[in-house]
Structures are given as structure tokens and as C-alpha cells.
Structure 1
Amino acid sequence: MNEVVYDSNFLVGFIDEDDTWHKIAVEINNEVKKKNLKTILLDCVASEVISVLAKRYEEKNKLDVFKDKVLKKFNETIRTIDLTYVYKDIERYYSEVIGKIGEYSGRLNFNDCLIVIFSQENNISRIISFDSDFDEVKGLVRIKSKNDLGTVIRKGKEILF
């Protein structure tokens, strides 16, 4: 399946031109478009992205830039991606999310564990993220550069796309 799920740090890096990961995020995004992959953005990730960006620009005392430029780019980016709503099912997911947080000793936060559970339930094997803690999740391959988009691991075998 040609699906990838987004993590918040990828989108923060893509949207914020001053972010450490911006150049790599743009390269990954271009490769995603080139390969015509189906991208999945969970509502919990979208809310985390906008919160991180708002706080970042508040701390820089650049809320005018946030309002005039960053928020606009966020909205433009989100419009090109189908938003998937998982918060509406949080009551169903809650216990499993808490269990996953324990399983990963807190290295994956609430939203990260929600992403993992959603991905597992929907047979999504790739996540675009700069968070190496996702490397510990069996069955989920972390895309951290454009070169990673050519492969996926399924049941211990490497499959080329």
C-alpha cells in the first residue's frame, strides 16, 4: 500500500523555514509528491503542529510572522492533505494509548502512540518523522530522508516501491 502517515516534527520542519529539518522536509515532500503517495494526517498531529509553531513564534516574539506567514502556510499545507479524525474515537483508543506509552517507557508520547495504534489498525507501515523513537516500533518504518521512500519492511522482508 502506498500510504504514509505524518508525524508532527516533519510538518513543523516543512512549514517553518528556519527549522533545522526544513531542507530535508522539503526534499521528502517533493519525493512524496513524485511517487504520488497517499499521505495521512491525523487531527492530533495537526493540532500539535499548529501549537508548536504558535509557541515557537511567540517565544521569538514574532507573532506577526506567525499570523501573516506561518499560519497561511499551515493552512495551505493542510488543504492538500486529507485530515483523518481520530480524536473522535479517543474513548476507544485511550486505554491502548496509555498501554503503549508504558510499553515504550514514555519515549513515545500520547499522540505518538495514537499514531502507532492508528497505523497498526490500518496496515500503514511507514511514518514520515525525524523522531528516532519510532524506530523501536515493529512494523513501522520511519522515513527520515527522501531516500527512505523507496523501501518498506513487511514481515521482515524489504519490499521496493
Structure 2
Amino acid sequence: MPEVIIDANVVLDARNSNAKRHDIAAEIFGGIDRGELPRARLVNYVVPEILHPIQKRISKSTATETLELLQESRGFEFVHIPKGIHSKGERLFRLHESSGPEWVDSVIAAYMLSNDIEYVYSFDDDFDAFDGITRLNTATDPFTP
């Protein structure tokens, strides 16, 4: 099955029952975990964006549990950004004006473009700035006709 990227905000909102988009995020997260949605790659720069806020806002045990859920799930795959793609991400970051995408989003976009991954589950419209990337903010399988 083709793969997608998942952004930190989806995981954060799925794990926080008080989040405004919790229900949608939980549908996406659960769909990936159960194999109903495409397998999601989780780049190494996103992991601290997930675990740190959960540890600070909820608890260390919830952060640890989240890490274990992601590691043990067949629906998620941890990937590390190589140096060359990191550099491409920095170039993308510099290309956009002051209101452009954040640094981590630029590195994720460089990874996606370098690996021919079109889709990202995210609530962050920064990804809309990149040609060739389609942001999904619902539990939709983009590969189902």
C-alpha cells in the first residue's frame, strides 16, 4: 500500500481528548493504526514535536505511552531525514517569505518531494505552500478510488 506522512498536530490532537480536533485526529490516528488508512511515515523531527507537548501538558506517562503506541503499531513507520534532504528542507525554508512554512514543515516537505510522497495528514496549512504536496485533514484514504 502507498504511504503518507503524518504531522505532529494530528497525533497531538488524537492523544488529547480536550483538543478541538480530537475526534477527527482520533479517526485518522486509529485508521492508520488499524490499517484502514495508508501506512504513515513519522519523520524523526516530528517525534519531539509530539512527545514534548504531551509530557508538559498531560503527563510523562502519556508521552511514554504515545511513543510505545507509535513504535508498536504496524501503521506507523519511523524514518530519519538524511543530511541531503535536511539541506533541501533548509533551502525550501529560505525560499518562502516571512509568513511561509515553518522549518520542520519545510524539511518534511523536502522529504516528501524527494520520496515521491504526495499526501500528508495535517491540520497545518503550511503544507499548502508546496507544489506536489496534498494536505489531508480528514480520515480519507487518498488511494481509494
TM range (shorter): 0.7 to 0.9
CA distance in 2, matches of 1:73, 1:115: 21
Letter in structure 1 aligned against 2:8: S
SS in 2 for 1:151: coil
TM-score by length of 1: 0.75
| Aligned 8 A contact 1:16 1:70 in 2 | no
The 5 A counterparts of 1:57-68 are: 57=58, 66-68=59-61
Structure 1 match to 2:54: 53
CA distance in 1, matches of 2:90, 2:30: 35
Structure 2 match to 1:5: 5
CA distance in 2, matches of 1:94, 1:83: 16
Deviations 1:25-68 (A, max 9, x none): 111223333535121011111122112222334xxxxxxxx123
| The one of 138, 150, 158 aligned to 2:131 | 138
Letter in structure 2 aligned against 1:97: G
* Residues 1:93 and 2:85 aligned together: yes
Structure 2 match to 1:21: 21
Structure 2 match to 1:151: 142
* Residues 1:75 and 2:68 aligned together: yes
Any unmatched runs of 5+ in structure 2? none
Letter in structure 2 aligned against 1:54: Q
User: Higher helix proportion, which one?
Assistant: 1
Query: Kindly tell me: are residues 104 and 78 of structure 1, through their superposed partners in 2, closer, same or farther at Cα, counting changes over 3 Å?
Result: farther
Letter in structure 1 aligned against 2:28: I
Any unmatched runs of 5+ in structure 1? 58-65, 153-159
Query: Kindly tell me: are residues 67 and 17 of structure 1, through their superposed partners in 2, closer, same or farther at Cα, counting changes over 3 Å?
Result: same
SS in 1 for 2:62: helix
Q: Which has the larger radius of gyration?
A: 1
Question: How many equivalent pairs are there?
Answer: 141
Letter in structure 2 aligned against 1:30: G
The 5 A counterparts of 1:24-43 are: 24-32=24-32, 33-43=34-44
Measured on the aligned residues, the alpha-carbon RMSD in Å equals 2.2
Query: Kindly tell me: are residues 119 and 94 of structure 1, through their superposed partners in 2, closer, same or farther at Cα, counting changes over 3 Å?
Result: closer
Task: Give the drift of 1:96.
Answer: 2.3
CA distance in 1, matches of 2:44, 2:102: 15
Letter in structure 2 aligned against 1:99: R
